[in-house]
């Protein structure tokens, strides 16, 4: 009868059965960690990352010399619900008959969306000043929530 190498015998059986030793598992996990860039990354607060990204999106608005800027004061209660406000402005309009710019007083009603925060702005397209070529600017309404 042949002498059997017990260690080789056990190793062959483990390989056949797919059994891995604890040390081999640890080595594989470490290898996996090194290959996976995001293994130790904390994704706990993605909201902060996205808010930083989107915070600058609205700042990309390019103001025009035809734009009009106004502030609108609202209460905390109005900020919690939809509300409607009337904004009174003076804007320049081109009089086609007289072929000159005139100043006209207008009152514009706008809906303030619920959840709006202090310092945010609404843009009402085409509600600003007009030039000789009938181009219109926008009305920018900066929201101020009363404390």
Residue 103, in any domain of the structure: yes
Is the pLDDT assigned to residue 56 strictly greater than 50?
no
- CB proximity list for 115: less than 8 A, separation 6 or greater: 79, 80
Predicted local confidence at residue 63, as pLDDT: 79
Handedness of CA 6, 7, 13, 14 (dihedral sign): positive
Give the torsion through C-alpha atoms of 61, 128, 121, 141, to 10 deg: 160
Q: How many domains does the chain have?
A: 2
Predicted local confidence at residue 143, as pLDDT: 93
Q: Which domain holds residue 93?
A: 62-145
Residue 53, in any domain of the structure: no
Q: What is the mean pLDDT of the chain?
A: 79
Is the pLDDT assigned to residue 59 strictly greater than 90?
no
Residue 30, in any domain of the structure: yes
Predicted local confidence at residue 8, as pLDDT: 77
Q: How far is CA 132 from the centre of its chain?
A: 37
Residue 1, in any domain of the structure: no
Distance, CA of 91 to CA of 104 (rounded, Å): 5
């Amino acid at each position: 009868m042949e002498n059997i190498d017990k260690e080789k015998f056990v190793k062959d059986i483990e390989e056949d059965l797919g059994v891995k030793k604890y040390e081999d598992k640890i080595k594989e996990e470490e290898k996996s960690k090194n290959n996976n860039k995001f293994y130790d990354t904390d994704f706990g607060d993605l909201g902060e990352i996205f808010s930083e990204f989107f915070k600058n999106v609205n700042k990309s608005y390019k103001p025009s010399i035809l734009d009009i800027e106004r502030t609108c004061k609202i209460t905390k209660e109005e900020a919690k619900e939809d509300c409607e406000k009337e904004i009174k402005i003076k804007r320049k309009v081109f009089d086609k008959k007289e072929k000159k710019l005139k100043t006209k007083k207008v009152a514009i009603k706008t809906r303030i969306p619920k959840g709006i925060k202090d310092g945010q702005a609404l843009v009402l397209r085409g509600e600003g000043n007009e030039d000789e070529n009938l181009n219109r600017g926008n009305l920018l309404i900066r929201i101020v929530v009363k404390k």
